[in-house]
Amino acid sequence: MSPDMQGLIFKVSQILFESKLNIEKNDEFVDKEQNIFFMRTEVSGNLNAHEILKKLQTALPTQAQINIIPQTKKTIIIFCTKENHCLGDLLLRYESGELNVNIAAVISNYEILGDLVKKFNINFIHISHENLSRKEHEEKILKACEAYNADYLVLAKYMRILSPSFVEKYQQKIINIHHSFLPAFIGANPYKQAYQRGVKLIGATAHFVNDNLDEGPIIAQDIISIDHSYTWKDMQKAGRNIEKIVFAKAIDLALQDRIFVYGNKTVVF
């Protein structure tokens, strides 16, 4: 990510060519309103990361943000509460190899989903929130997380609001999923509220978590059409299906390092 100017692609490509690296895939985008240039390049060959980084820093503008990321399997910790659809979907994708990730542990404030998790031979950590302040509860969770070097925390319908101090420790590393009825239908049973209003579209949004509830940078979204024949339970079932798909897509994009975050938005290649 860099201030846009003429010749950026040429400069990067020249350095990679001179370093005998092969460009296998390249994506670029320019935000013309902000004058910001984005570029993601996949290369193969004998790469000396320190040397390449130094050359790029010399050739590109001083404000440029440059990351060289090796293709390795990342580690996540899943947070959940009582709903099993997003968690179960991730576990199945993990077991089948569709999701190229190491699930280090599943943390929940209830024991309900423990048996499901244990079927996949994954460590299940129950940390009850009862009789604890939010700070005390989060301190216990943070201590549990410290045992693993997780690249991301993923909130699979985790029904607890994380404090700003917690989020600060995992900036742009916490991924959440929720229905896309916000802000119109909030609180208990949004599907019943949507049914009563005759909603014709159901959607889901996956985003990074920040200090503003459900307002972090959006990674992925999708919608499906419904009609008057749907009961609110039919709508809920359809909503859960799309939540699973959008959540898995967002996590996969993060695992592949395909997301650029700037301001409160993303560029996704």
Provide the residue type at 163 as one letter. Answer: S
- Residue of 4, 214, 222, 252 with catalytic role: 214
Q: Find how far residue 264's CA is from the centre of its chain.
A: 14
Q: Is 214 a catalytic residue?
A: yes
- How far, in Å, CA of 99 to CA of 94, rounded? 5
Catalytic site residues? Answer: 214
